[in-house]
Structure 1
Amino acid sequence: MFRTLGGGDLGTNRDKATHPHAVTEMCEEGGRLYADALRAGRIARTEVESAPCLLEFALLHPDPDDSEWLRPLPAPVALAQRLSPLEREIAERRRLSIQLADTFEPFMMLSSRMAATADSITVLEGGERINAALNLATTQCQTEVLTVQPSDRLSEKNLLRGLERDRPLIERGVRIRTLYQHTARYNPEKLAYVAQLANGKAEYRTVDELVERLIICDETVAFIPTRDDQQVALEVRQPGLVRYLIKVFEFMWDRAVPLSAGGRYETAPDGITEIQHSIAKLLVEGHVDEAIARRLGMNVRTCRAHIAKLAQALGSGSRAQLGYLIAQSGMLDRDR
Structure 2
Amino acid sequence: MEPGVGEMAGHTTEAHPHGADRLCDAGDRVYSRAVRRGRVSRQDAESVPCLVELALLHPDPDDMGWLVPTSPQEVMTRLLREMHEHVVATQSRMGEAVSAFEWYAALGGGDARSPAEGVAIRVLDGLPRIRAAMDEATEACTSEVLAVQPGGIRREDELSEGLHRALALRRRGVRMRDLYTHVARHGQGLRNYMELMEEAAEARTLDEVTERLIVFDRTVAFIPASPDRTMALELRHPALVGYLVTVFERLWRLAIPLTAPLPDTGIEGITHRERSIAALLAEGHQDAVVAERLGISVRTCRAHIARLSETLGAASRTQLGVRIAQAGLDGPPRAAELQPLTVPNRPGSPSDR
TM-score w.r.t. length of structure 2: 0.59
Report the CA distance between 1:263 and its aligned residue.
4.6
Q: What's the offset of the Cα at 1:334?
A: 4.9
Aligned residues: 223
Change (3 A) 1:280 1:198: farther
Instruction: Tell me if the contact between 1:223 and 1:236 (Cα under 8 Å) persists in the aligned partners.
Output: yes
| SS state at 1:145 partner | strand
Q: Give structure 1 stretches of 5+ with no counterpart.
A: 1-109
Q: What is the correspondence of 1:279-290 to structure 2 with a 5 Å cutoff?
A: 279-290=277-288
Distance 1:189 1:268, change over 3 A: farther
Q: How does 1:22-171 map to 2 (within 5 A)?
A: 114=115, 120-151=120-151, 157-171=157-171
1:292 Cα offset (Å): 0.9
Aligned equivalents of 1:268, 1:162: Cα separation in 2 = 39
Q: What is the Cα deviation at residue 308 of structure 1? A: 1.4
Question: Residues 1-336 of structure 1: matches in 2 within 5 Å?
Answer: 114=115, 120-151=120-151, 157-199=157-199, 201-264=200-263, 268-332=266-330, 334-335=332-333
Instruction: In structure 2, give the amino acid aligned to 1:142.
Output: T
Q: Within 2, Cα distance between the matches of 1:261 and 1:293?
A: 24
Cα pair 1:268 1:274 within 8 Å, conserved: no
Report SS of the residue matched to 1:133: helix
Residues 291 and 269 from structure 1, CA distance in 2 versus in 1: closer, same or farther, beyond 3 angstroms?
same
Deviations 1:279-316 (A, max 9, x none): 11111111111111111111111111111111111111
* CA separation of 1:324 and 1:198: change in aligned 2, threshold 3 A: farther
Equivalent-residue separation in structure 2 for 1:135 and 1:240 (angstroms) = 23
Deviation at 1:156, TM superposition (A): 5.5
Kindly indicate whether the alpha-carbon contact (under 8 Å) linking 1:150 and 1:213 is maintained by their aligned counterparts in 2.
yes
Q: For residues 326 and 157 of structure 1, what CA distance do their matches in structure 2 show?
A: 38
Distance in 2, Cα, partners of 1:198 & 1:317? 48
Q: 2-side partners of 1:293 and 1:282: how far apart?
A: 10
Which structure has the larger Rg over C-alpha atoms? 1
For residues 111-158 of structure 1, the C-alpha deviation after alignment (integer angstroms, 9 at most, x for no partner) is: 9x835x985100111111111101110111000000000125896532
Shift of residue 198, structure 1, vs aligned partner: 3.6
Q: 1:335 to 1:144 in 2, by over 3 A?
A: same
* Structure 2 SS opposite 1:176: strand
* TM-score normalised over the length of structure 1: 0.62
Q: Is the 8 A contact 2:152 2:294 kept in 1?
A: no
8 Å contact kept, 1:311–1:322:
yes
